Amino acid sequence: MMRAEAGAAKNTIAAYGTDLRLASEVLGGRLGSAGAAELERLAGEWQPLARATVARKAAAVRRFLGFLADEGLRADDPSAALPRPGTARGLPKVLSVDDVDRIFATIAARIERVPADPLDLRLAALVELLYGSGLRATELVSLPRNAVAPDRPFLILKGKGGRERLVPISDRARAAVAAWRDHVAVGRPFLFPSGKAHLSRVRLYQIIRALAAEAGIPPDRVSPHVLRHAFATHLLEGGADLRALQAMLGHADIATTEIYTHVDSRRLVELVNSRHPLGEALVDARARRP
């Protein structure tokens, strides 16, 4: 149902499955027949967990029990007994432009090494697409071999929920992809192959963290998703329209995109202090004080 009716992504379905199996273990395998008392016990087991984790687990169980009731597999739906803690959306980790410059300088130094290592070309293509186009990790590693065309400054992706979006591809990114693709066998289906499939998200995470350490940036500050955040943050700082950013990131709800407006707060304060007439008057007044 999650796949056919809700259009949920494979990773979402896997996460729901894990949460449901763990909940069932707590209730001795009786999740499908659980009543309000059992669900309250389940909520008690979740109490030490973070609020966002509890919200996710409760949503999975709530959806499952609702499905059973809709299909006539049980007569009631006791999911009202599940907690609704809500989620406090945290601010994303942010890389400065200087941080990104250091990352790309490290990549450039690796590419210039003799003898050349094709994996350095792969690294350049990965980072150019993460930071230059804001791709999600899963979208990036599963790109088909010919997804990025040398004469087309965009690609069309199917992201979360099966939603399609147009993603701009910079000249730099297309050049980096072209240089790497020369080292990918013509018969391979993926742009970033590994074994019989494609590079895994876990391996991508490891590659990006190792690159951060090499660039002198604490590895815990950098991940594929942080580079996606940097793409959005720096575009917004540069004056990008929030709706355009929503489309590029593939957010279904603009409220998700609005989290990036926190970036402008510091810049706006500086702008008011340096450019607003009242700000200048206050500075002059302070200067005239004895």
Catalytic residue numbers read 136, 160, 225, 228, 251, 260
Residue type, 44: G
Closest C-alpha to 253, from 28, 89, 13, 96: 89
Grouping H, G, I as helix, E, B as strand and the rest as coil, residue 144 is strand
17-24's contacts with Cβ under 8 Å and 24+ in sequence apart are 19/56, 19/57, 19/60, 19/61, 20/60, 20/61, 20/64, 22/57, 23/57, 23/60, 23/61
Whole-angstrom distance, CA of residue 81 vs CA of residue 79: 5
Place of tokens 């593939």: 250
Rounded to a whole number of angstroms, the CA Rg of the chain reads 24
- Give the N- to C-terminal CA distance of the chain in Å, as an integer: 75
Strand blocks (E) in the chain: 154-158, 164-168, 193-194, 197-198
